[in-house]
Every structure is written in C-alpha cells, then in structure tokens.
Amino acid sequence: MKEGKTSGGMKKEGKTRSSFSGRLGYVLAVAGSAVGLGNIWRFPYLAAKYGGGIFLLVYLILMLTFGYALIVSETALGRMTRRSPVGAFGAFGKGAFFRAGGWINAVIPMLIVPYYSVIGGWVTKYLFEYLRGNTGALAEESYFPGFIADISGVLWFLLFSLMVTAVLFAGVQQGVERVSRVMMPMLVLLAVFVALYSMTRPGAWEGVKYFLVPNPGNFSWMTVVAAMGQMFYSLSIAMGILYTYGSYMKDEVDIEGSTTQVEVFDTAIAMLAGLMIIPAVFAFSGGDPDTLNAGPSLMFITIPKVFASMGFGTAAGVMFFLLVLLAALTSAISLAESGVSTFEDQFGWSRRRSTVLMGIIIVCFGTASSLGFGVWDFVSLLGMSILDFFDFLTNSLMMPLAALATCLLVTRVAGLERIAREVEQSSAFRRKGMYNVFMKYLAPVCIVIILLSSIAGVLGWITM
Ligand code: PFF
C-alpha cells in the first residue's frame, strides 16, 4: 500500500495519516526504535560499572513502573491527538509553556540522530573490516582512535545516514514497519547465538554470575541515577518517538499489552547484550572486573580484543557487528521519522520535502560531530567533544525536561481520566492505580533527581 492510502489511515485535516498495519507491526517498530546502541553498547558497560546484578535489579524495577507509565502516556497522547509531539501538546489549546514542551520533545530526536549516525558509521566500518578478515588489526589499541580521527570516518557516517534516509523515503508501512519486521527477528537470533558463544568460553561463568546475581554491597546512589538515565535512553522515552508512533497506531491496538511486549523485548536484548559482553570480557581478562570499566570504548576496543583472542573470532565479529548495525539502523530510523513527522505536521510539508530537510540536518550536525574527533578536535564545548556535547545536551538536560513536560500535560491538562479512557478504548487498564500514582507523584520527583544529578556530574560535584 502506498503512503497516505493505508487501509488504517486516519483522516486528519483532509490528509490521510499513515498508520501501522496492526499490533505486530506496531510492536516491532517500537521495539526496533527501543533496541539500539543503548542496549548493546551502553547497557553492558553501565551494568558492569554500577554494580552488576544490583544495577540490573534496580533497572528492572524502574522500567516496570516509571518507564511503563511514561510509555503509556506518550503513546496514548499521540493516538488521542493523532499528532507528533508539537501538535499533541498544542492540541489541548494551552499556552506557550506547553507549546515549548511539545517543541522540546520534537527537537531532541533531531539532535540525537546526527551523532547517533556517526556511531552507526563506526559500526558499519567495523562490520566491513570483519568481513574482510581484518580481525587482528581491529584488536590493536590504536586502531579505534586512529580511525575516528581520520576523515574517512565521515564517509562511513554518510553511508549509514544514506541507509536511514532511504527507508524514510519509503514511508511508514513500506519503510519503517517492513524493515523492522525483517530486522528484529534476525537480531534476536543473532543475539542468542553470540551470547551462547560468549558464555561458553572458559572462565566466562564468573562474568555471568557478576551480571545476574545482585550483590547489595555494590549498591550506591549512582546505581539508581545511572539506571534511571539508561531506562530513558533505552526505551526511547522523552524524545517524541512514542508520540509519533502512537499517532500511527490504530484505535483497536492494545496500548497496555503492546507496551509490555516492547519492554520485554528491549530488556531481553539488553540482558543478552550483557551476557554477550560481560562474560567474554571476564574470560579474556582472567576475571578482573576492573577491565569492565572500559566505558564507551568497550565495544570498539575491548570487544575486538576479546574476539581476536578467541577461536572463530572473525565469524563472531561479523555476527556481533551485524547485530549492532541492525539495532542501530532501526533506532536511527525512528529518531529521524519523529523529525520528519514533525515537519509534515507543523509545516504541512510533503514527506519528500520533510525527509530532505531531516537529511540536511543529519549531514550538518553529524559531520561536525565526526570531525570533532579529527580536524576539529580543538573544539571543546563545556569540556566535551562535539559528539559528547550533543549526547549530554539531549540525554542529560533536554530529556528530563521533555519527560517533565509530558507528566504535566497528563496531570494538569489532559487529565489522568482521559488517558485511562484512551487506553481502555482497546483493552482493560490493569495497572491504572500504579500508573496514576507514578504520574502524579513519583515520576516528577524522579525526573528532577536525574536532571540535578546530571548537572552536578558535569560540573564535577559528584562522580558519575
Ligand atoms: N533507544 C534506542 C537505543 O537505546 O539505542 C535509540 C536511542 C534513542 C538512543 C535516543 C539514544 C537516544 F538518546
């Protein structure tokens, strides 16, 4: 079916709005958005750094309560108004404060997708090198810093961005949904395979225990703050995406049930990623958890070393980076889709024109982020590289504000009852009591805590 003529298209201002074909299409597309570099690259190193099993436990609790409440809110608001975030906030006719809340939700994905595509470009390059059998070279300590400083990093970024924009041109059902339907099952199979391989290496079992068994001795305040930030990142909350995807959701699709499925999917992949990476690093390092604190470079430096030291390292490398590439692509597509839909809705532009503008934004900010590691490495924003600055600006400052705006929209403007009616239109709202308590009291407090902790962290008042 062609864009704009979908069977489930919603009539809106004379134009037919695109929609997902049904629940499976919706769940796979949202899971495709949620499962990304956050699960495979960020979750394992945070889990390793902030206490292993205890981090996992805190993460699970937060996701099932706080995360759940925010996903339901954004999806219901998107479906109720049939608008992407700016329109959804504007639909209630409130003043400038709420309009700003809509715009902050809408701008976040436009700022994330350029730098996210730079990392996507690195992943594409690593897959290419593994396919060529360059396993030994990738494992050298100097390879990664050398590569990202080189101008060719920009070309890999452009290749990744081209893949993303091609899918966007194709539209919602033909592009976003179709790609997710193929890529997501492939991703699960690859993840199970690589995790089994990693867990069966000699010495890996200690890592499995460290990751899965909670040890209260490892708990700290930062465990909670880090788990909360990761939950936002991983579930694609507070970045306009769920408003947009909710607006493409048919009225009969069960919001509560599909949210639960997305959460299970996202967490399963994050846990598989933990089981791929943490045991492999334990096996490689002879059980020294300090090597796990490798941080962001874990995936590009430590993992290639682990692969090079193992049998079938090249095959493992190809599978692992193919998996990461699929995950990164579907997420980048969703981030960009959110931007495209904002342009379509707010400026009344065609999909084509909106996609072109999104492409230009990606190329401009992404090239700057990429060059920030090479010829522009003298640029320092609040002591950060250009890429790190975009990451900090969006994840640590703008996302908590966007989530707070959603909480206020739900409790002060739309009303908890109206959200409940929207959810109940398609299914029972079993966790309504918990939802209401979270939206009214706990979520705003949690959000302010994340915001203050992030600011204190960057100012050096607390160690993150
Ligand atoms: N949720 C996705 C991930 O975990 O990779 C995509 C994503 C969205 C990542 C927004 C980062 C981000 F700031």
List residues bridging with 12 in a β-sheet: 15
pTM of model > 0.75: yes
| DSSP one-letter code for 240 | S
Residue with tokens 């079992």: 205
Which ligand 1 atom lies nearest to the CA of residue 239? 10
Show the low-confidence residues of the chain (pLDDT under 50): 1-14
pLDDT of residue 9: 37
Q: Separation of 331 CA from ligand 1 center, angstroms?
A: 6
Residues with CB under 6 A from ligand 1: 34, 36-39, 112, 233-234, 236, 239, 331, 335, 394-395
pLDDT of residue 29: 85
pLDDT of residue 6: 35
> In a 3-state reduction of DSSP, which class is residue 5?
coil
Question: Ligand 1 test: best mutation among 33, 37, 244, 333, most atoms within 8 Å of CB?
Answer: 37
pLDDT of residue 291: 64
pLDDT of residue 14: 40
Sign of CA dihedral 438, 439, 440, 441: positive
Q: Is 361 exposed, middle or buried (0-12, 13-18, 19+ CB in 10 A)?
A: middle
Sorted by sequence, the CB contacts under 8 Å of residue 2 that are 6+ apart come out as: 171, 174
pLDDT of residue 293: 58
Do the Cβ atoms of 336 and 164 come closer than 8 Å? Answer: yes
Which ligand 1 atom lies nearest to the CA of residue 335? 8
Which ligand 1 atom lies nearest to the CA of residue 328? 5
